Structure 1
Amino acid sequence: MNFVSTRGKVNNIGFIETVLMGLANDGGLLVPEKIPQIPAEKLEALSKLTYQELAFEIFSYFVEGEIPENELKELIEKSYSTFRHPEVTPVKKVKDNMFVLELFHGPTFAFKDIALQFLGNLYSYVSKKTGETIHILGATSGDTGASAIEGVRGKEGIRICILHPHGKVSKVQELQMTTIDDQSVLNLAIKGTFDDGQRIIKELFADVDLKNKYHLRAINSINFVRILAQTVYYFYAYFQVAKENEGKNVNFSVPTGNFGDIFAGYLAKKMGLPVGKLIVATNENNILEGFIRDGIYKPGEFQSTYSPSMDIQVASNFERYLYYLLKEDSKAVSELMENFKSEGKIVVNTEQLLQVKKDFAAHGVVGEECLQTISKYYEDTNYLLDPHTACGVAAYEQCNDSHEVCVTLATAHPAKFNESIERCEIKQSFPEQINELFNKPQFLEVIEADKNEVVHQLETLFRFSAN
C-alpha cells in the first residue's frame, strides 16, 4: 500500500517508510492513499478471531507484504504477550446498553500501550534489519511517555527522549516515566504545557536535514502506526458487543484530546465497520467540541483539569480528519493549515459542518461533572472509572439515545489518577507495579520549553556531532 501526505508533497511511499518518516517531510500527516474496504462477509469472518489474529488481518491490509507474514505475526504476539488480560482489550458490561472497553491491561496501565508496544517492537525490528540506531522523540500529556519508554527501553539500537509538561501530569504518570534508570532514556520536564512540547517536537521533525542525519523517529500519534494499532480494538469491541445486541446501533464514546483515538474509530468506520455514532468526549479544553458544534477550530486558554491527559488545545491528528472532510484535497488542507498558523483558527463552511455533525457528536465535560460521574458509577455499579473514562461516560449520557448501545473507551486504570479519585472520597487499592514506583529515585531534567534547549539535551543522549 502507498501512503501520501495530507499536504500533497509526499506521495507513493510504503509502509516501512511511513513508519520511519512519522511526520511527513512537507509538514503534513501521512495517510493511506486509499482506505481498504472490508466487505460484510469478511467482517463476519473477522468477528470470530482472537485479538492477535484480528490485529494481523487489519495490519495486513496496510503492510501488504513489506513485512513477511510470519515476522508480522511474531511482532504482534510479542507486543501483546505483555498484557495482563488474555483478550488484550476486554469489553465489560456496566449496565444495560452501556459497556466499557478496557484498554488499560498493558504494562503501563494505559491505552497507549496497545499501539506503543507494537511500535516499539517494530522500531527494534527495523533497526535490526537496517543496522542503524533509531533516535525516538516524543511529547506526552502523561500516558504516551511511559508507554513509549516501556515499549523501547532495553532494545538494542534505540534511544528515546520524552518531553512532558512539568507539574502537569499525575504523580503516577510522572513516576512511570522518570524512575527508569537507563542511559538510552532521557526525560525532559518542560516549563510549559503539552502543546508547547508537541510544538517543539514538530519543529524538530520539520527540520528534514536534522531528522534524516540523526535518524529521528516519531512516537507520537503523528505516526500512522499509532492510529492503525488503535483501529484494531474498535473492530474487536464492535464484534463482542454486536453479538449480544443484534439489530441495535453500536456507538463509541471516546475520551480524546489529541484526536488520535477518535480518528482510529473514524478510520475503522471508513474501512466498513458498521459503527453508529462516534462521540467525542473532551474536558474544559474543549476545542474539539467547539469545532463539532460550530465548525470553528480555535484554541482557547489552556486549563489544568481532573483529566490531565486530555489537557490539550492543539490536536495534532485533527489534520488527518480535515483531509477527508475536504475530500482528500491536499491543496485545500495546506491552505487551511497555513491560515491556522497565521490566524489561529480554522473555519469550515455550512456544508462541511453538516458532514462533521454526521461524523461525530461531542460533549465537553467540566470538572464537577467528571467527579460526579466517577462517584455515581462507583456507587451504582461498583465500577471505578478513571477521570478520562468518566468524561467518556458523561458524554455517552448526553449523546447516546436510550435504544442504542454504547461502548466507552476506558483509557486508563484509575490508579494512575488517584488525585482525582480521592476528590470523590473513594479509597482505591493500587496494583503492586504502581505501588513500587513510590520508592524509586527519579531521573529527569527540568528545562525551559525551548527548541534549542531540547536540542542541547539531545546532543548528550544521541551524541550529536557538530560535523
Structure 2
Amino acid sequence: MKYISTRGQVSPTGFIDAILMGLADDGGLLVPEQIPQLSSDTLKQWQRLSYQELALEIFSLYIGDEIPRADLKKLVDDSYATFRHEDVTPVRRVNNGLHVMELFHGPTFAFKDVALQFLGNLYSYVSKKNNSIIHILGATSGDTGASAIEGVRGKQGIRICILHPHQKVSKVQELQMTTVNDSNVLNLAVEGTFDDCQRIIKELFADVEFKHQYHLRAINSINIARILAQTVYYFYAYFQLANQGHTEKVNFSVPTGNFGDIFAGFLAQKMGLPINKLILATNENNILARFVNEGVYQPGEFKGTYSPSMDIQVASNFERYLFYLYGEDSGIIATLMEQFKTEGSITIPGDVLQRVQSTFSAYSVENETCLDTISEYYEKYDYLLDPHTACGVAAADKLMADGEITVALSTAHPAKFNEAIELRKIEQTYPKQIQALFNKPQFQRVVGGSNEEIKDQLVKFF
C-alpha cells in the first residue's frame, strides 16, 4: 500500500515513511492510494474475531509486508493489553434504539488511547528497527496529549512535546499530562485556544527544513495511522450488534471537533461496512455542522463549552474528506485550501452538498442541552455520560428515525469532566487512577502563542 497527498505534490510513499512524514511535505494530508474493498464474505468471516484479531486484519490491509505479520501481531497485542475491558471497545445497549460504544477503557480513560497506544508502540518499533530518532510534536484539546504521553513515556529513542491551551482543558486532562515527570516529556501550556496550538503544529510541520532538522513526527490525527486505528472500532461495533441478531444498517453518532473520529467511520463505510448514516455531533463551535447543513465551511466565534475537547473551529482532518468528496482530485483540493487560507471560507455548490448529506447528518448541541442530556440519561437509564458523549447522544436523539439502530461513540469517562457533571448535582466516584492525580506535582511551562517561542522551546528540548 502506498500513500499520497491530498494536494498531489508528494510522490507515493510506503506506510512507515507515511507515518514518519505525518503532515505531507506539500502541506496536505496523506491518504491511502487505494481504499481496500471488503466483500460480504470477508465481513462474515471477521464477525467472530476478537478486537485484536480484527485490528490485525485491518492494519494488514494498509501496511502490507512492510511490517512482518508476527511483528504486527505483537504490536497490536501489546497495544490493547493495556485496556481494562476484555472487549477493548464494548458496546452497551441503553434503550431500544441507542447503543453506546465505550471507547474509554484505555490507560487515560479516553478514546484517543485506542489509536495512540498503537502509534506509540509503532514509533518505538520503527525507532529500534531503523536506529532512528523520533521527536514527537503534538497539540491537544485535552485527550490526545495524555494518551500520546502515556503511549511513549520512558521509551528509548523517543521524545515528546505536547501543546495544550492554557486553562482551557479540564482539570483531570491537565493533570494527566502535567503530572508526568519523565525526562522525554515536555508539556507546553499555550496562552490561546486549541486552534492556536493546532495552527502552530501545522505551520511547524509545513516548515520542511525545520521538520527534518529536528526529526519531527506527528501524533495528532494528521497522522494517517491514527485514522486507521480508529477505523477498527466501527467494524467491531457493527459485528457486536450483528452477533446479537441485528442485521440492518447501523447509524453512528460521533461527537467531533477535528473530524478525525468521524472520518474513520467514513473510511470504514468506503471499505464496505454497511453504515446507514454518520451523525456528526458538535457543540456550539459548530463549523462542521454548518458545513453539513448549509455547505459553508467558515470559522465562527470561539465559544468555551462544557465539552472542551470539541472547542475547535478549524478541523484538521476536513481536508481528507474534501479529497474524496471531490473525486480524489488533488488540484481542486489545493485550490480550495488556498482559498480557505486567503479568504477564510469554503462554499460548495448544491449538487456537492447533496452528496455530503447522503452520508452525513449533523446537529449542533447547545451547552444546556448537553447538560440536560446528561441528567436525562442518568435519571432514566442510570447511565452517566461525559459531556462530549452527551453531545453525540443528543444528536442521535434528534436525528435518528424510529426503528433505526444507532451507536453513539462514548469518547471519554465522565470522571474526566466532573466540572460539567457536578453542575447537575450528580456525584460520581473517581477511578483510583484518576483520584491519585490530585496528589501529584505538576510539570509544565506556560508560553506565548508564537511559532518562534515554540521553536525556541523545541530546540532546547530536542
* Same fold at TM > 0.5: yes
> Does residue 427 of the first structure (1) align with residue 459 of the second (2)?
no
AA matched with 1:53: E
The match for 1:224 is 224
The match for 1:465 is none
User: For the residues of structure 1 that align with 2:150 and 2:11, how far apart are their CA atoms?
Assistant: 32
Question: Which structure 2 residue ranges, 5 or more long, are not aligned?
Answer: none
Equivalent pair of 1:6/1:28 in contact (CA under 8 Å): yes
The match for 1:235 is 235
The match for 2:14 is 14
The match for 1:444 is 444
Deviation track 1:315-357 (CA, whole Å, cap 9, x = no partner) reads 0000000000000000000000000000000111111000000
Point out 4+ residue stretches in structure 1 off by more than 3 angstroms: none
Please state how far the C-alpha of 1:460 moved relative to its aligned partner. 1.8
Secondary structure at the aligned position of 2:303 is classed as coil
Equivalent pair of 2:283/2:310 in contact (CA under 8 Å): yes
Please state how far the C-alpha of 1:15 moved relative to its aligned partner. 0.5
Q: Which moved more, 1:240-249 or 1:85-94?
A: 240-249
Equivalent pair of 1:50/1:87 in contact (CA under 8 Å): yes
AA matched with 2:222: I
The match for 1:455 is 455
Please state how far the C-alpha of 1:246 moved relative to its aligned partner. 3.1
Q: TM-score by structure 1 length?
A: 0.98
The match for 2:336 is 336
User: For the residues of structure 2 that align with 1:241 and 1:297, how far apart are their CA atoms?
Assistant: 35
Secondary structure at the aligned position of 1:95 is classed as coil
Equivalent pair of 2:47/2:243 in contact (CA under 8 Å): no
Please state how far the C-alpha of 1:195 moved relative to its aligned partner. 0.4
Q: TM-score by structure 2 length?
A: 0.99
User: For the residues of structure 2 that align with 1:392 and 1:35, how far apart are their CA atoms?
Assistant: 27
Equivalent pair of 2:204/2:211 in contact (CA under 8 Å): yes
Root mean square deviation, CA, Å: 0.6
The match for 1:406 is 406
The residue correspondences of 1:330-369 to structure 2 (distance < 5 A) are 330-369=330-369
The residue correspondences of 1:63-74 to structure 2 (distance < 5 A) are 63-74=63-74
The match for 1:383 is 383
User: For the residues of structure 1 that align with 2:12 and 2:445, how far apart are their CA atoms?
Assistant: 40
AA matched with 1:285: N
User: For the residues of structure 2 that align with 1:437 and 1:69, how far apart are their CA atoms?
Assistant: 38
The residue correspondences of 1:268-279 to structure 2 (distance < 5 A) are 268-279=268-279
Secondary structure at the aligned position of 1:415 is classed as helix
Equivalent pair of 1:248/1:403 in contact (CA under 8 Å): no
User: For the residues of structure 1 that align with 2:294 and 2:93, how far apart are their CA atoms?
Assistant: 34
The match for 2:215 is 215
> Does residue 146 of the first structure (1) align with residue 146 of the second (2)?
yes
Please state how far the C-alpha of 1:245 moved relative to its aligned partner. 4.5
Secondary structure at the aligned position of 2:276 is classed as coil
> Does residue 23 of the first structure (1) align with residue 19 of the second (2)?
no
User: For the residues of structure 2 that align with 1:321 and 1:71, how far apart are their CA atoms?
Assistant: 31
Deviation track 1:183-211 (CA, whole Å, cap 9, x = no partner) reads 21100000000000000001110011111
The residue correspondences of 1:56-455 to structure 2 (distance < 5 A) are 56-455=56-455
Number of equivalenced pairs: 462
User: For the residues of structure 2 that align with 1:401 and 1:355, how far apart are their CA atoms?
Assistant: 20
Please state how far the C-alpha of 1:126 moved relative to its aligned partner. 0.4
Secondary structure at the aligned position of 1:397 is classed as helix
User: For the residues of structure 1 that align with 2:93 and 2:358, how far apart are their CA atoms?
Assistant: 27
Please state how far the C-alpha of 1:212 moved relative to its aligned partner. 1.2
Q: Which moved more, 1:228-237 or 1:90-99?
A: 90-99
Please state how far the C-alpha of 1:97 moved relative to its aligned partner. 1.8
User: For the residues of structure 2 that align with 1:37 and 1:305, how far apart are their CA atoms?
Assistant: 39
Secondary structure at the aligned position of 1:104 is classed as coil
Secondary structure at the aligned position of 2:248 is classed as coil
Equivalent pair of 2:255/2:388 in contact (CA under 8 Å): yes
Please state how far the C-alpha of 1:11 moved relative to its aligned partner. 2.7
User: For the residues of structure 2 that align with 1:240 and 1:408, how far apart are their CA atoms?
Assistant: 14
Secondary structure at the aligned position of 2:41 is classed as helix
Equivalent pair of 2:115/2:225 in contact (CA under 8 Å): yes
AA matched with 1:113: D
User: For the residues of structure 2 that align with 1:387 and 1:253, how far apart are their CA atoms?
Assistant: 14
User: For the residues of structure 2 that align with 1:129 and 1:243, how far apart are their CA atoms?
Assistant: 40
Deviation track 1:432-462 (CA, whole Å, cap 9, x = no partner) reads 0000000000000001111111111112210
